[in-house]
Amino acid sequence: MDLYGRPWRVERPLGTVGRVEVSRYETPTGVRLRLRDREGEVEAFLDPLELEGLTRARYKPVPALPLATGDGAEQAAEAWRTWGELSERLQNEFALVAVALVGTEGLLVRDMNAGLAVLLSPREVEILLRVRHMDLAPLVDTSDLVALPEPDVDEE
């Protein structure tokens, strides 16, 4: 408990993906997605910005996170139409994402600002347990992404 009688952390289980338990984990420093293997030996905490980066993983691969080939955008979009209402939103000052467990298919992560989504298989979720935060840094860095220019209101 802190000085105001609030718990240091609040955890809400969301379910399991394969052999990984998934939960929303809140601390005074922010909200995280907690991934933990069923034996409790390995766990990972991903913040909203890292989860947002995962939506770019199929377009911007990183060696530490081998994802299935193919773009998977249609599969993720279909999963969002079906499971989006059951999603859990995680937000910090840098990112807003929604996550949902998609039956036995995996974990759906959607960047609510850009509209990108990725459906991670149970095997890919297990890989996330062993990825270091610095391995996800290339996905968080958006400096090499192409931005569409906004129209200039002064030009006609």
Asked whether the beta carbons of 33 and 125 are under 8 A apart, the reply is no
**Residue boundaries of the structural domains of the chain:** 10-138
Tokens matching residue 133? 């935060």
* From 38-42, 106-110, 121-125, the region with the lowest mean pLDDT: 38-42
Q: Which residue has the higher pLDDT, 148 or 97?
A: 97
**C-alpha–C-alpha distance, residues 123 and 52, integer Å:** 19
Q: Using one digit for the tens of pLDDT, what is the confidence trace for 81-101?
A: 877 788 899 999 999 999 999
Query: Under DSSP, is residue 110 helix (H, G, I), strand (E, B) or coil?
Result: strand
Q: Which pLDDT does position 23 carry in this prediction?
A: 96
